[in-house]
Amino acid sequence: MIMSYVKGLKCRECGRGYPKQAIYVCEYCFGSLEVDYDYEKIKKALSRKKIAGGPKSLWRYRELLPLDNEPTVGLSSGFTPFFRAKNLARSLGVEELYIKDDSASHPTWSFKDRVVSVALSKACELGFDTVSCASTGNLANAVAAHAAQAGFKCFIFIPSGLERAKIIASLAYGAKLVAVEGNYDDVNRLCSEIAARYPWAFVNINIRPYYAEGSKTFGFEVAEQMGWRTPDHVVIPAASGSLLTKIWKAFKEFEKLGLLEKPVRSKLHCAQPDGCSPIAKAILEKAEVIRPEKPNTIAKSLAIGNPADGYYARDAVFESGGSAARVSDEEIREGIKLLAQTEGIFTETAGGVTLASLKKLIQEGKIGKKESIVLAITGNGLKTQEAIQETVGAPIAIEANVTSFEERVMGGYNVKPNVIASPPKAGEAISERRLLRRPPSVDSSQ
Amino acid sequence: MPIKVRIPTPLQKLTQNKPEVDVTAKNVKELLDGLERQYPGIKDRLCDEAGRLRRFVNIYLNEEDIRFLKQESTPLKDGDEVSIVPAIAGG
């Protein structure tokens, strides 16, 4: 049975209606087209019970996603881990901190699996045989992987100078990978022009109204996994600003549909790197206009100087009562290491930006120490190793004998061998255990 | 001085489906007025009531965003190429 809850598309600026096609911009005012849902119908069809009994993927929120038919692509994406981060909380001096961890996303280790699952399912419905995108790398991986699985032809456009792992993975999935001389904004402009000439589904151009809805599932999952409530604060990295905008929309949709225990009181905070922070600057300066920038940051996945959803992200932050933070490359690297060393999660540079921003927001008193906080971790550190390789130290090289081990590894380490060899006792404090397990030389970079 | 202007799909109904048109102008502001003379109604789509470029319209001169140049006063010369591109894309 075909169950559609989508009435059509609608201009976010002037409200003009459009049919459900591969279009993304209002012909009259150039505003963004958005999916127009039949919320009355959704309200009748959707309940906590229905969601809880759904698939363990982002498709458990199928009624709030813009498909007319059943999904066909990305059936295992979404529903990523959500957990209380006690070690990190202790380190930051806060009480109630949670991590939503899309570094574990299936199949390409970033939140882009969410948007691409929706975009390619929609591209399939609309009858396209070729998919494409302009990407800073994570999207490239997600489009290439899902296109391979779903049997689409695939053209991916990236700025030259992306991280090696993102390039290699995109090639491994068999995509036609095009490295454009210039930064992401150059790639994006070029793709907008190419999209007008070729009958392809560009996920973040002509399919964008559908694609962007996939980001809502990050917010839906946070609310469901917190027990049908939303936190006091969410810290979210921003590139185009779409994820932040859609997390806000997700919370408000759940509220509107009566799925939450309490009204939404969450404050959303925008995290950006110093070297590219057009949205954060506009928020901090309360500016009318978002000024484009020429990005220069190690956080390449956030290096969008001309953010499509900048205005909407700024508005969502203001509406929620949140704020923004801008952090340096050094703070980003420290953020990556802090998350790895407290919670065992190796995130990419965007995650470093998010954690460093959280730290700053706590220091500035914008996030209270007793309030509940969710940190949005959106990507995996194995993809951006270049960013920290100079600052994590090197392995200690030894010969394959005990003497060499004791000389080079344990030399000057004032713990007796029998203490090292004994297993930790039950109830032993974690910090004491760490002291025993970690030779001081590993810490030399800190 | 003819300037080549690339017209985005949503506006091509106004340019008789032509994706590229020639306009004579000395700067971007004149170019917008020139477009309006040749294709009446097009300026309303690109500019708000006060005559300012709408915030979701990006204009590029030879691949550079005019906001990094002199905005609407950006001078144009023979052989320049101007692209009008919707801002809502990417990310």
What tens digit of pLDDT does each residue of A69-82 get?
999 999 999 999 99
**Rounded to an integer, what distance in angstroms lies between the CA atom of residue A141 and that of residue A103?**
13
Assess whether pLDDT exceeds 60 at residue A169: yes
Within an 8 Å CB–CB cutoff, is residue A288 touching chain B? Answer: no
- Chain A CB contacts of B18 below 8 Å: none
Torsion of CA A164, A306, A174, A72, to 10 degrees: 130
Estimate to the nearest angstrom the gap between the alpha carbon of B8 and the chain centroid.
Answer: 9
Its CATH class, for the domain covering A6-75+112-212, is alpha beta
pLDDT at A440: 41
Chain A residues touching residue B56 (CB < 8 angstroms):
13, 25, 29-32
- Which of B8, B83, B89 has its CB closest to that of A188? B89
Sign of torsion, CA A210 A214 A219 A223?
positive
Gap between the Cα atoms of A303 and A294, Å rounded? 9
- For residue B79, the Cα-to-chain-centroid distance in whole angstroms is 15
Strand order in the sheet with A267-273: A82-84, A96-101, A372-377, A233-237, A267-273, A324-327
Task: In whole angstroms, give the CA distance from residue A61 to residue A55.
Answer: 9
At A127-165, the pLDDT tens digits run 999 999 999 999 999 999 999 999 999 999 999 989 999
- Whether the bond between A237 and the residue before it is cis, its omega within 30 degrees of 0, is no
Q: At what angle do helices A138-150 and A164-172 cross, to 10 degrees?
A: 10
User: Is 50 exceeded by the pLDDT of residue A325?
Assistant: yes
Does A27 touch chain B if contact means CB atoms closer than 8 Å? yes
The shortest C-alpha distance from A328 to chain B (Å) reads: 22
Average pLDDT, chain A: 93
What is the per-residue pLDDT for A442?
Answer: 41
Å from B32 to nearest chain A CA?
A: 16
How far is it, in rounded angstroms, from Cα A112 to Cα A243?
10
Residue A412 confidence (pLDDT) above 90: no
pLDDT band at A247 (very low <50, low <70, confident <90, very high): very high
Which pLDDT score is estimated for A435? 43
Out of B11, B68, B88, name the one closest to residue A208 (CB): B88
Residue A172 burial (CB count, 10 A): 12
Contacts of A185 in chain B (CB under 8 A): 65, 90
- Separation in Å, CA of A390 to nearest CA in chain B: 29
Residue A401 near residue A428, CB atoms below 8 Å: no
Report the alpha-carbon distance of residue A396 to residue A164 in Å, rounded: 25
Q: How far apart are CA B81 and CA B60, in angstroms?
A: 8
Secondary structure of residue A327 in the 3-state scheme: strand
pLDDT at A301 over 60: yes
Does A6-75+112-212 match A82-109+215-387 in CATH topology? yes
How does pLDDT run across A79-127, given as a tens digit for each residue?
999 999 999 999 999 999 999 999 999 999 999 999 999 999 999 999 9
Query: What burial letters (b/e) apply to A64-77, b meaning 16+ CB within 10 Å?
Result: bbbbeeebebbbeb
Give the model's pLDDT for residue A24.
Answer: 96
- CA-closest candidate to residue A164, choices A389, A362, A445: A389
**Sorting pLDDT into bands at 50, 70 and 90, what band is A3?**
confident
Residue A113 Cα to chain centre, angstroms: 10
Alpha helical stretches, state H, A214-277:
216-225, 242-256
8 Å CB contact of A205 and B8: no
pLDDT confidence of residue B86: 94
CB-based contact A120:A202 (threshold 8 Å) = no
pLDDT over 90 for what percent of chain A?
91
Residue A230 has pLDDT above 50, yes or no: yes
Cβ distance B86 to A25 less than 8 Å, yes or no, reads: yes
Q: Is the pTM of this model over 0.90?
A: yes
β-bridge partners, B48:
none
pLDDT tens by residue, B37-81: 999 999 999 999 898 999 999 999 999 999 999 999 999 999 999
Q: What is the pLDDT of residues A31-54, one digit of tens each?
A: 999 999 999 999 999 999 999 999
What pLDDT is recorded for position A411? 85
pLDDT digits (tens, 9 = 90+) for A348-378: 999 999 999 999 999 999 999 999 999 999 9
Q: How far apart are CA A215 and CA A250, in angstroms?
A: 9
Domain boundaries B2-86, corresponding CATH code: 3.10.20.30
When CB atoms are compared, the residue of A30, A186, A208 closest to B57 is: A30
C-beta atoms of A28 and B46 within 8 A: no
Distances (CA, A) of A64 to A13, A41, A195, A407: 21, 11, 27, 61
Are residues A27 and B56, on separate chains, in Cβ contact within 8 Å? no
**Domains in chain A: boundaries:** 6-75+112-212, 82-109+215-387, 402-445
pLDDT on residue A350: 98
CB contact under 8 A, B54 and A30: yes
Looking at beta carbons, which residues of chain B come within 8 Å of A32? 56, 88
Per-residue pLDDT band for A432 (boundaries 50, 70, 90) equals very low
Mean pLDDT across the stretch B82-89? 94
Residue A260 near residue A228, CB atoms below 8 Å: yes
Nearest chain A residue to B46 by CA distance is A29
| The CATH number of domain A82-109+215-387 is 3.40.50.1100 | yes
Contact B65 A307 (CB under 8 A): no
Tell how many helices (H) and how many strands (E) occur in chain A: 17, 13
The domain limits of chain B are 2-86
C-alpha span between A358 and A352 (Å, rounded) = 10
pLDDT in tens, A396-408: 999 999 999 999 9
Tell me what pLDDT residue B45 has.
94
* Residue contacts between A and B (CB atoms, under 8 Å): 93
By C-alpha distance, which of B62, B66, B64 is closest to B53? B66
Q: List the beta strands (DSSP E) in A288-349.
A: 324-327
